Structure 1
Amino acid sequence: MAGKITCYIDCVSLYSYYALIALEKNREKLISHNVDIDIVPVFLGGINVGSGNKPPWTLPAKGKYGKFEVTRAMKYFGTPNLKVPSFFPIVSLLPQRALIFIKREHPQTYVQTFLNLFVEMWEKSTDISKPEILAQVLSKSYSEAEVRNILDQANSPDVKQALNDNTKEALERGAFGCPWFWVKNKKGAEEPFFGSDRYVPPTTFSAWTHVKTQTGRCFA
């Protein structure tokens, strides 16, 4: 039986960006150990409401600490250009729905598109929640017709429901934030990992995936 990492992320979540960076960095190692990776778009706002969690910036102590943590993370993950956009936070429904459709119809470019959206928001301060701006960003990777189709389908009942279903699945698996990981080892045993614990000892995670890397440190 293969192991599997299911990663629930949202482009509005900075630490989801770091989680995806780390997973992609270790993708080949994970695959070599027969570990599948599934990147799942969810709506973080829905997870917060459904779990009763509050965003860090709404609590003064968390907000103050976050400045230190972000600085450490920037150094750790090598993202010196990162900055919190002036328009943060966004309502991420449109980009997340677009990613649902891209994953379905353009699987070969899906992960890179997710990374591109993170870069646009967190390094270039691009408000990807606005349809016209999201279209411009997507046009760097897709044809005009494809972009038009992606945005049209992002507003379809089917895709909207798919994002709702993904978010509900994450909640049912205990999620209270992003990134949220559901990890299954080769014996079929399953266990969650929350993204803020980036500095968890590497043996904790590698014991589950049977991958002798430091991927356990990526979860933030």
Structure 2
Amino acid sequence: MGGRIDCYVDIASFYSYIIFLDLLRNRDLLKAHSITVEFHPFLLGAVNAGSGNKPPWTLPAKATYGLHDAKRTIARFPNLPIQFPADLMSVALTVLPLRALHFIKRTYPDPEVFITTLHYFFHAFWAPPNVNLTRAENVKMVLEQVPAGFKGAGDAGEEKLFSKDEVEAILKGAGSQEMKDLLKGTTQKALDQGAFGAPWLWVTNEGGKSEPFFGSDRFHFVYQFLGLPFQNVALLPPANQSKL
């Protein structure tokens, strides 16, 4: 048994944050089944434009339903502080932090540095007071604040992941043509796979066959495709019904 899950995410995508947390808390179990998980920062706005898709909140019916769906999804993580930005459209173009993540992923040998930074960017964007990551000064501030080994809300951490010199190097690297091309190439790769939104999963099973999956709640299909044992949804009898 084995395989891999390539997960394409954007910081400005709420459901990217959810799938990141889900995969993170199941990472050890997946590893025990010889499943490799890799996260790929990509630009959701470019995916929407390239696929002809539109953000769900631009359609009134989807926007109304989305409020219900978001509330139900957040309930799966009861201790997760979530507050949608007041004007999501104006802060959704997270190009600089996505390039910074690619630089960190390519530069630091320890993959946990990249995972921790991605986690903290998600937290900064979606937890109140919702840091605007379209601004370079805010990206710098967040990078300077990343706690080493960040585990989630409430983990301030005295030791910081990056020194001030490292933050400067990350920001400089994020502005390089190499990182611009890398983000663009990653986004195009997802589009070539058929991506039209986020999160986008490209899953490969032990036989080498790959299939796409979309959304943060398709794990029953993903696990089935990978041949993993999992507990499916099952309707139970009323609690007061006697057993036969």
Q: 1 CA distance for matches of 2:59 and 2:11?
A: 21
- Mapping of residues 38-187 of structure 1, within 5 Å: 38-89=38-89, 90=91, 91-106=93-108, 107-124=111-128, 125-140=130-145, 141-187=161-207
Question: How far apart, CA to CA, are the structure 2 residues paired with 1:45 and 1:205?
Answer: 25
Aligned to 2:211: 191
Change (3 A) 1:79 1:122: farther
Q: Which AA in structure 1 matches 2:229?
A: K
Which structure's CA Rg is the greater one?
2
Are the counterparts in 1 of residues 2 and 226 from structure 2 also a CA contact under 8 Å?
no
Aligned to 1:7: 7
Shift in Å, 1:210? 2.8
| Equivalent residue pairs, number | 213
The residue type equivalent to 2:31 in the other structure is I
What's the counterpart of residue 156 of structure 2? none
Unaligned runs of 5+ in 1: none
Q: Is the CA contact 1:98–1:153 (under 8 Å) kept in the aligned structure 2?
A: yes
- 5+ residue gaps, structure 2, are 146-160, 234-244
In the alignment, residue 163 of structure 2 is paired with which amino acid?
Answer: S
Offset of 1:121 from its aligned partner? 0.7
| Poorly superposed stretches of 4+, deviation over 3 Å | 213-216
TM-aligned CA distance change 1:137 to 1:59, over 3 Å: same
Structure with more helix by fraction: 1
**What per-residue deviation string (whole Å, max 9, x for no partner) do you get for residues 179-205 of structure 1?**
000001111111110015x1x472x22
Fraction of identical pairs, as percent? 38
Paired AA for residue 22 in structure 1: D
Counterpart selection for 2:225 from 203, 208, 216: 208
**TM-score, with normalisation over the residues of structure 2?**
0.83
Q: Which amino acid aligns with 1:57?
A: W
Aligned CA distance change for structure 1 residues 14 and 201 (closer, same or farther; 3 Å): closer
1:192 is paired with a residue of what secondary structure? strand
- CA distance in 2: counterparts of 1:80 and 1:121, whole angstroms: 13
Higher relative contact order (CA 8 A, sep 6+): 1
For residues 121-147 of structure 1, the C-alpha deviation after alignment (integer angstroms, 9 at most, x for no partner) is 101311122111111111123110110
Deviation at 1:22, TM superposition (A): 0.4
Paired with 1:113 and 1:214, the residues of 2 have a C-alpha distance of 32
Q: CA deviation at 1:96?
A: 0.6
Structure 2 distance, partners of 1:215, 1:152, is 47
Task: Supply the RMSD in Å over aligned alpha carbons.
Answer: 1.8
**TM-score, L = length of structure 1:** 0.91
